[in-house]
Structure 1
Amino acid sequence: MTSLTIIIPHYNSTDTVLKLLDSVPVKKEIQILIIDDHSNQEEKQKLMKFKDNSTHRDIQFLENDSGKKGAGSSRNVGLKNAIGEWILFADSDDFFVDGFYDSIEKYFNANVDVVFFKPTSIELETGNISNRHTRFAEIIDDYSETNSRKSELMLRYRVVVPWSKLIKKSVIEENEILFENVISSNDVMFSANLGHHIKTFDISKDTIYCVTKSSGSLTTSMNSEVFDTRIDVFVRYYKFLQEHLSKEDFNSLDLSGQGIVFLSTKHGFKKFYNVIRVFRKNNIRIFHRNMFSPVKFFKRVALIQSHRKNTKRLN
């Protein structure tokens, strides 16, 4: 039986995806799906050469033939071809940490829909610790310490990335949960729908996944088209949570468009004005209620200082 399917969208990133594949142990229980998203011919040839010489015999190379380009469409192709009882998603420039399979294997017979694992992250150019994982890690720590309703809601709805989650395939199939065919933030509504439908879950402080951050990624470089897509996705996400949560639960998430508003200033006044107009039209809160809280401010300062110390330690 295939216990696990790992789904990897790929676009012209052969060198990094080979590092990702090297981080996966060779086991007959693992199905690896690489879905190519219209890479150039040279990159495709590199992948096929690797497949021919690899000890991984269960790697399948698929084409994103959906008619829609993007990581979301590619992931949906992967879901259509997955045979594992459990699913892990990985981005082609990230990798799994040593011993990750031992951490997830013990959950294969668990009566849960999702297991959230604590991730880590690094800067690709320097190898220093990055901050891409910190919010996810903080939410896991908070749930572990408080087990409160708010911390559960944060796990379900504010961890909008697909990686570092072990997901039972049946939950995805039974509820027809798919990724959006958009240029950016394709995983936000997938994660929100998943959070809404899971009945049982567990958390683990084991680290199984390392996210990378590079100067050329969508997380660090955002043109106008990408930015506009993120606005559209955020509006749908906000309305989805309003519709599916009680007023008390929704308010406890303290969801706002504050981050997007701040980012819009980098695109000029016209973009800033348009964001404000869209949010007001959709009755979206623009600023966090606790924006001016001194406690929150000093916590954020402490987090930044801790990140700087960890970075210096690696130098």
Structure 2
Amino acid sequence: MTSQSMRYSVIIPHFNDADRLERLLLTIPVARRDLEVLVVDDCSPNQPALEVVKSRWSMVTWLSTPRNAGAGAARNIGLDHARGDRLLFSDSDDEFLPGAFERFDEHVGDEDDLVYFLADAVQEVDGSPSNRADRLNALCMEYHDDPSDRNLSQLRVGHVVPVAKVYSRVFIDKCGVRFEETPVSNDVVFNVLAAVQARHVRVQPVTVYRIHRRPKSLTSNPSPEAFLVRVGVKARLASALKALGIKDIPSATGWMVASFSYGPRTAFRTWWLCLTSDMRIDVFRVFQFGRWKNFVVGRQADRAEKKAAESSRGHR
């Protein structure tokens, strides 16, 4: 098979979660001759379990990071090996919905640099609805329903995960974006820098992907160390956007206020990082009641959902 005949490359980072990985693989049409699946294992300790999955999925390309370095490093290895005209990413604990790849065939054109699709989200423990895809879908639909420059900008800088999207590989190679190798938020810079440089961007209001909320995951890491990593990612993103001449630079205000909940040491480090970065300092945002109301309501809903997931897991 030549690289010209390969339409899709599906890149999946994996770490020590063979059962969920197999659940995902069952939702991908791996037998298609115009599709390749690249699973990049991040030096999982439980190699015997992974070997069992490998033995059942010989049509998958199995790769590995040279050392445990996180999902960002794994995705970069996948990018280096991808041959498809179109790039898709999936987390190993999520899944594609039935008919997803037929929807990609139908809606992704040769001229598209980046096409956004919709996702749904469920609590893994009981299948009940989760809010994890709500903001992503809202950004997509706001631009789809009103394709203004403002809504496009918000979509580009606000949709910071690589799933439920289809990228042109030629475009990604041309702009040279790669994932960071941070323990959390390693996909933010890739997604935003790719989006702001894409010339042909569309939203297809079709749900193709399912996100599973697990009781404990990297995305819900509440530690001060993880918080500071996330702030650092935003600071680097701000500098990169400024260098590209992008005006919609991330604001530091919310991070600065939120830092107080982690104690004085973390707050000091956060403020120093923000004040010495290219992030915007919007003092008046602190006094916008509606913005803080939405933030508090969203955070309370998120915490309630995580608590329910933990409780359900404890009673299983």
1:51 aligns with 2:54: yes
Q: Deviations over 1:189-215 (max 9, x none)?
A: 111221232111211110111122223
Specify which of 3, 13, 26 is matched with residue 9 of structure 1.
13
Distance change in 2, residues 1:239/1:121 (3 Å): same
Aligned residue runs from structure 1 range 66-215, under 5 A: 67=67, 69-215=69-215
C-alpha deviation, 1:172, in angstroms = 1.2
Cα deviation code 1:91-137 (max 9, x no counterpart): 11111112111111124543111100112212223322222211111
Given that 1:4 and 1:29 are in contact with CA atoms closer than 8 Å, whether structure 2 keeps it comes out as: yes
Report what 2:243 is aligned to. Answer: 243
Q: CA deviation at 1:289?
A: 4.7
Distance 1:199 1:90, change over 3 A: same
Q: Separation in 2 of the partners of 1:174 and 1:63?
A: 25
Post-superposition shift, 1:263? Answer: 4.0
Whole-angstrom CA distance in 2 between matches of 1:270 and 1:24: 46
Is the 8 Å Cα contact of residues 261 and 286 (structure 1) preserved in structure 2?
A: no
Matched letter for residue 239 of structure 1? S
Q: Is the CA contact 1:86–1:108 (under 8 Å) kept in the aligned structure 2?
A: no
* Aligned amino acid, residue 47 of structure 1: L
State the 1:298 CA deviation.
7.0
Amino acid aligned to 1:17: L
Residue 223 of structure 1: how far off its partner (Å): 2.7
1:141-183 Cα shifts (integer Å, max 9, x gaps): 1111221111111222221111111001111112222111222
1:36-80 deviations in whole A, cap 9, x for unaligned? 10101xx332233223234xx420111112x56111111011011
Q: CA 1:257 to 1:23, structure 2 compared with 1: closer, same or farther past 3 Å? A: same
1:272 partnered with 2:272: no
Q: Give the Å deviation of 1:303.
A: 7.7
Instruction: Identify if the C-alpha distance between structure 1 residues 302 and 103 changes in structure 2 by more than 3 Å, giving closer, same or farther.
Output: farther
**In the aligned structure 1, how far is the partner of 2:8 from the partner of 2:126?**
32
* Other structure's SS at 2:28 match: coil
Is contact 2:11-2:88 (8 Å) kept?
yes
Query: Which residue identity lines up with residue 34 of structure 1 in the other structure?
Result: V
**TM-score, structure 2 length as denominator?**
0.85
State the AA in 2 paired with 1:127.
G
Letter in 2 for 1:61: W
| Distance in 1 between residues matched to 2:283 and 2:160, nearest whole Å | 18
- How many angstroms apart in 1 are the aligned matches of 2:101 and 2:147? 26
- TM-score, normalised via structure 1 length: 0.85
Deviation per CA, 1:225-276, whole angstroms, max 9, x where unpaired? Answer: 3222212111111222233235xx42xx7x3224433442342121112212
Does the 8 Å CA contact 1:161/1:187 hold for their aligned counterparts?
yes
Question: Does 1:29 pair with 2:16?
Answer: no
Query: What letter corresponds to residue 37 of structure 1 in structure 2?
Result: D
Give the equivalent residue in structure 2 for 1:221. 221
Q: Secondary structure at the match of 1:261?
A: helix
d(CA) in 1 for partners of 2:254, 2:19 = 33
Change (3 A) 1:68 1:49: closer
Q: Which amino acid aligns with 1:125?
A: V
Q: Is the 8 A contact 1:164 1:209 kept in 2?
A: yes
CA contact (8 A) 1:68 1:181 kept: no
Q: Indicate the RMSD between aligned Cα atoms, in angstroms.
A: 2.8
**Aligned partners of 2:114, 2:280: CA distance in 1, in Å?**
30
- Residue 63 of structure 2 corresponds to residue 62 of structure 1: yes
Q: Structure 2: state its 5+ residue gaps.
A: none
Residues paired across the two proteins, number: 300
Unaligned runs of 5+ in 1: none
